[in-house]
Amino acid sequence: MPLGTASLAPLKAARGSHVYNDPEATATAKTVQAAASVLYGWRIDNRANESDVWLNIWNLAIANVTVGTTAPHFTWRAEAGKIASAGCVEGIALGTGCVQAVTTAGGTGNTTNPANAVKIRLHID
Amino acid sequence: MAGVSQRRDGQGEDSQFGWSQTFDDDCDVATPTDNIDNGPTTLSLIQVIAAADGTGYVVGFDHENPVEATTPPDYQFQVANSGTVTIMVHSGGKTDVGFSFACATTPGTAWTGDPTTPTDIHLITIPEVR
């Protein structure tokens, strides 16, 4: 390499650099990304509630999600009055898309909104 | 190492101090599922390594004896063929009753079905001193 030149690699975005925030996640399904996604981290702020809540994620287009009927592909519980957060090194592949909703029970059949606002943050590509 | 219990497939004595490790080299849907801790515990790390045709779902429960296709999972995620998923829990992840897990091919409350080939799971939990 000639003196006085430098090779700079292009900057590369970190994994999970796209941050999705929903300050009031409910049992109504919302699209996070309408394309193949990889989930690297999640934070569920349930400090406003006296009951546990469950973050549900579907690897589907929102048109194919019926909360209470369609089995979620990802579920994570946040305890009453607490924040639950975790990260995934490799990422969790969602090959179709990413749709989220927060309910008051785990599993498939619940459609109840949390009593108070639940804030969620997803780190996703 | 003092205070650390090494268990296989959920078997072994409870750890009274520190953290516990559980290895399962053939996670399946058998009922009752692998029961790690009877009593309050906190999830710390979950690592899953799936075989070439091992696509499936890890389902976790704050429950000592979850029933296949009946007990709603409290924690659930998918692992693809030959995939590895390592989840580090930063906060939360506490269970009140105990922690059990299974691997299934169908997610949600109707979780059922064995992954075709063995799926390895390594968990680290922090049992509450009791």
Structure confidence by residue, pLDDT tens digits, A21-40? 999 999 999 999 999 999 99
State how far the Cα of A40 lies from the Cα of A43, in Å rounded to an integer. Answer: 11
Query: Residue B5's pLDDT is what?
Result: 36
* A82:B92 CB<8 A: yes
Interchain proximity A86–B73, CB inside 8 Å? no
* A31 vs B50, more confident: A31
A72, A77, A88 member nearest B87 (Cβ): A88
Half-sphere exposure of B25 (CA within 13 A, CB side): 2
pLDDT, average across residues A72-80: 97
A82 at interface of B, judged by CB pairs closer than 8 A: yes
Contact at CB, B72 and A107, closer than 8 angstroms? yes
Give counts: helices (H), strands (E), chain A: 0, 8
Q: Which of A77, A79, A89 sits opposite B75 (nearest CB)?
A: A77
Q: Which of B75, B107, B110 minimises the CB distance to A73?
A: B107
pLDDT at B12: 41
Convert the pLDDT of each residue in B23-39 to its tens digit.
888 888 875 566 676 78
Q: Give how far B103 is from chain A: nearest CA, Å.
A: 13
CA–CA separation, B130 and B21 (whole Å):
18
Average pLDDT over residues A37-50: 97
Chain A closest-CA separation from residue B109 CA (Å): 5
Q: What are phi and psi of B34, to 5 degrees?
A: -65, 115
Which DSSP category does A50 fall into? S
* C-alpha pair distances (Å), B13 with each of A51, B47, B127: 32, 22, 12
* DSSP helix/strand/coil, A4: coil
ipTM of the complex in this document: 0.87
Which tokens hold the place of A54?
Answer: 């469950």
Whether B92 and A84 lie within 8 Å, measured CB to CB: yes
pTM recorded for the entire structure: 0.87
- Residue B22: CA atoms inside 13 Å, Cβ hemisphere, count? 29
